[in-house]
Structure 1
Amino acid sequence: MQTNLADFIKNTRAGKEADAILRACVHCGFCTATCPTYQLLGDELDGPRGRIYLIKQVLEGTKATVKTQSHLDRCLTCRNCESTCPSGVEYGRLLDIGRKVVEDQVPRPVAQQLTRQLLKELLPRPWLFKPAMAAGQLLRPLLPRKLKNKVPEKQQAGIFPRREHARKMLLLDGCVQPAMSPNINRAAARVFDALEVQLLVAPKAGCCGAIRYHLNDQAGGLDDMRRNIDAWWPYVIGSNGQGVEAIVMTASGCGVTVKEYGHLLAADPLYAVKAKAISALTKDLSEILPAFEAELQEKLQGKIPQRVAYHPPCTLQHGQQIRGKVEGLLRSVGVDVQLCADSHLCCGSAGTYSVLQPELSYRLRDNKLNSLQATQPDMIVSANIGCLTHLQSGTQTPVRHWIELLDQALA
């Protein structure tokens, strides 16, 4: 694709990156076939190819409009199009650049501004979000349906193991997950403890930065990333030169963001080298545990009788390009695990999308649940807190993180 970027962005880092991405696109249209919003709405501008055109026009100097902003807002950033694209177009990065430019040009209505500001201020701060979630869970029976969907029932977390092991890895506790589903990280810690690996939590680490960054507060998101790097760095270098083996992610939405620290902070002279090292150390659970497959088989074979439907999050299968590892590991330890039809499609959670675009989000959720329920599961499992909460709001079938399944069997 030929481009002629406007002077306001042409020679900037974002402009150079956007130009390279735009030039890679040949507008073949393969991406439209796997775009969830295009499938729902049938509008070219609500598919990746149309959105690329809109971003190109804005970067070339055409003034953005409310319509432009709406079409970009409706994108889930599921990155399914990246998995489909034969030209390797990095659509997710282009979208972040385009959204920020449009955000600067198109003032939002006051209600939208307040909602987005609340999300940016509340969700990344556990000291605010945790008591708010606790109050919501206490009042849950009285809440209206839409709000109740965002407040999962209170969960018992169990203990975090404290045994010392020679092998050590860092665990990102995250921002919303400890309040919404505290058992996930503790279950992961117990599974690793059984495998004689100690998971450590850096007290000052928090939100991975995705929430603010994808709500167009990119400076705030980058600050969150720098804070995490500072919190993790002593563990990375180690007191005796022997640092942690990996930084473990139990939420694939966080994992895909931390793996991009190296790129996002590449122009920061104080953090570029450290950010690259952090990204290289970051691993999803499903990348680490297959190395322990034989040991897990010995401990778990025949202990998990449930029939399980697995929903692979977009941030895992498209963002991180990790496929087959979760279901492969579960099958290796004797679990009857099924993938549903159209397992590549988004469930509609997509971070804050279910709050900002509820109509589309719930249509996608219901489509996904219909496909998952068709496998007749006893339980649905996934690998991201957003997917788990969103899916559970529409079904009575238990929805859990897959690591909780292993933890329960080990117990």
Structure 2
Amino acid sequence: MQTNLADFIKGTPEGDEAESILRACVHCGFCTATCPTYQLLGDELDGPRGRIYLIKQVLEGAPAGPGTQLHLDRCLTCRNCETTCPSGVRYGRLADIGRAVVERRVPRTLPDRIKRYVLKEGLSRRALFTPALRLGQALRPLLSPALQDKLPPLRRATPWPTRTHARRMLVLDGCVQPAMAPNINAAAARVLDAVGVQLFAAPRAGCCGALRFHLNDQEGGREHMRRNIDAWWPYVDQVEAIVMTASGCGATVREYGHLLAHDPAYAEKAARISALTRDLSEVLPAFEEELAALVRRRSEPVAYHPPCTLQHGQQIRGKVEGLLRGLGVDVRLCGEAHLCCGSAGTYSLLHPDLALQLRDRKLEQLAQTGTAHTVSANIGCIGHLQSGTEAPVEHWVELVDRLIAG
């Protein structure tokens, strides 16, 4: 694709990156076949190719309006198009660059600004989110059905192991997962403890930065990234890996090195942090034999929903299913397993009409696997899917924890 970038962005790091991405696109349109919003809306501008054209026009100096902003906002950033693209177009990064430019040029309505401010401040700060969630759960019967649908059931914290081991790994607690599903990291710690690895969290680490970054507060997102780097840095020489139990966080932390590449104070540290980062599904398969010997109970068949941030964002496929099958679990993938469930960070709150269509479609296909139990690898997907079904939805490591605990 030929480009002629406008002076305001030409020659900048963002401009050079965007130009490289745009020039890789060959207009083939394969991406539209795997774009969830294009499948729902049937509008070229609500598919990757159409959005690429919109971003190209804006970067070349064309005016942007509310329509441009809406089409970019509707993108889930699931990055399924990147998996599909035969030319390797890095659409996710192009969308970040284009959205930032449009955000500066197109004023949002006051209600939209308020909603986005509340989301980025309330969700990214654990000290605000946890008490607000607990209050909502306590008052759940008094709330409207729409609000009840957004509230996850109360899940209690469970004990962490107390043993120490020579082998150590860090884990990110994140912002919403400790309140929504505190058992996930505890289960991961117990499973790793069983095979001789100590898992611990750095006290000052928090939100990975994805929430603010994808709400177009990109500098605010980078500030969260710097805080995490500062929190982890004293431990980097003492641990084998920084383990992610939420694939959404993992997809972002793996990009710290790229997103902070032009920060002279943090570029080198960010690259080191990204290199240390591993999804839990990359860590546990190395212990499959030890875990298989520890299994004390059989599992019913389960359906596995692979999050977009794992299979497209991090290009990790097959590891969860492979490990669970190695532990004797009958794991089933649903039809259209490559498609997004509609959670996508704050997307389900900002675009509930589209998000609920995608959720219900996903739940219907999960039900067709013939199982009554779903596991996934990202807290956003787990909460979003659970809001539409009475059947249990949990993190896959919680299942492994139960199998070896008996």
Name the TM-score class by shorter chain.
over 0.9
* Corresponding residue of 1:62: 62
Partner SS, residue 149 of structure 1: helix
Confirm or deny: 8 A CA contact 1:149 1:390 kept in the other structure: no
* Distance in 1 (alpha carbons) for counterparts of 2:32 and 2:310: 20
Residue by residue, what CA displacement relative to the aligned partner does 1:50-81 show, whole Å, maximum 9, x if unpaired? 00000000000001010000000000000000
* Corresponding residue of 2:294: 299
* Corresponding residue of 1:240: none
Confirm or deny: 8 A CA contact 1:208 1:228 kept in the other structure: yes
Question: What letter matches 1:307 in structure 2?
Answer: P
Q: Pick one of 277, 280, 289 that aligns with 1:285.
A: 280
Residue by residue, what CA displacement relative to the aligned partner does 1:132-153 show, whole Å, maximum 9, x if unpaired? 0111111112221221122111
Percent of residue pairs identical: 70
Whether 1:399 and 2:400 are equivalent positions in the alignment is no
Instruction: Give structure 1 stretches of 5+ with no counterpart.
Output: 238-242
* Distance in 2 (alpha carbons) for counterparts of 1:185 and 1:145: 30
- Which is worse superposed, 60-69 or 145-154? 145-154
Residue by residue, what CA displacement relative to the aligned partner does 1:253-292 show, whole Å, maximum 9, x if unpaired? 0000000000000001110011000000000000000000
Q: Pick one of 340, 346, 349 that aligns with 2:340.
A: 346
* Distance in 2 (alpha carbons) for counterparts of 1:199 and 1:149: 33
Written as runs of structure 1 = structure 2, the 5 A alignment for 1:310-329 is 310-329=304-323
Residue by residue, what CA displacement relative to the aligned partner does 1:156-209 show, whole Å, maximum 9, x if unpaired? 221011211010000000000000111111111111111110001100000000
* Distance in 2 (alpha carbons) for counterparts of 1:131 and 1:10: 46
Confirm or deny: 8 A CA contact 1:169 1:198 kept in the other structure: yes
Written as runs of structure 1 = structure 2, the 5 A alignment for 1:12-411 is 12-237=12-237, 243-300=238-295, 303-411=297-405
Question: What letter matches 2:294 in structure 1?
Answer: K
* Distance in 2 (alpha carbons) for counterparts of 1:410 and 1:131: 33
Paired residues, number:
405
Question: What letter matches 1:289 in structure 2?
Answer: L
Partner SS, residue 124 of structure 2: coil
Question: What letter matches 1:313 in structure 2?
Answer: P
* Distance in 2 (alpha carbons) for counterparts of 1:193 and 1:143: 41
Question: What letter matches 1:90 in structure 2?
Answer: R
Structure 1 residue runs of 4+, over 2 Å off? Answer: none
Residue by residue, what CA displacement relative to the aligned partner does 1:77-119 show, whole Å, maximum 9, x if unpaired? 0000000000000000000000010010100011100000001
Confirm or deny: 8 A CA contact 2:291 2:404 kept in the other structure: no
* Distance in 1 (alpha carbons) for counterparts of 2:80 and 2:141: 37
Confirm or deny: 8 A CA contact 1:140 1:148 kept in the other structure: yes
**Alpha-carbon deviation of 1:304?**
3.0
* Distance in 1 (alpha carbons) for counterparts of 2:204 and 2:187: 21
Confirm or deny: 8 A CA contact 1:160 1:186 kept in the other structure: yes
Residue by residue, what CA displacement relative to the aligned partner does 1:313-369 show, whole Å, maximum 9, x if unpaired? 000000000000001110110001100000000000000000000000000000000
Partner SS, residue 236 of structure 2: helix
Confirm or deny: 8 A CA contact 1:296 1:333 kept in the other structure: yes
Confirm or deny: 8 A CA contact 1:151 1:180 kept in the other structure: no
Confirm or deny: 8 A CA contact 2:209 2:223 kept in the other structure: yes
Confirm or deny: 8 A CA contact 2:205 2:232 kept in the other structure: yes
Question: What letter matches 2:156 in structure 1?
Answer: Q
Partner SS, residue 150 of structure 2: coil
* Distance in 2 (alpha carbons) for counterparts of 1:28 and 1:304: 47
Question: What letter matches 2:292 in structure 1?
Answer: Q
Q: Tell me the C-alpha RMSD between the 2 structures.
A: 0.7
Confirm or deny: 8 A CA contact 1:262 1:273 kept in the other structure: yes
Confirm or deny: 8 A CA contact 1:255 1:283 kept in the other structure: yes
Taking structure 2 as the reference length, what is the TM-score of the superposition? Answer: 0.99
* Distance in 2 (alpha carbons) for counterparts of 1:299 and 1:386: 30
Confirm or deny: 8 A CA contact 2:299 2:403 kept in the other structure: no
Partner SS, residue 283 of structure 1: strand
**Alpha-carbon deviation of 1:305?**
2.3
Question: What letter matches 1:234 in structure 2?
Answer: P
Instruction: Give structure 2 stretches of 5+ with no counterpart.
Output: none
* Corresponding residue of 2:8: 8
* Distance in 2 (alpha carbons) for counterparts of 1:398 and 1:152: 12
Taking structure 1 as the reference length, what is the TM-score of the superposition? Answer: 0.98
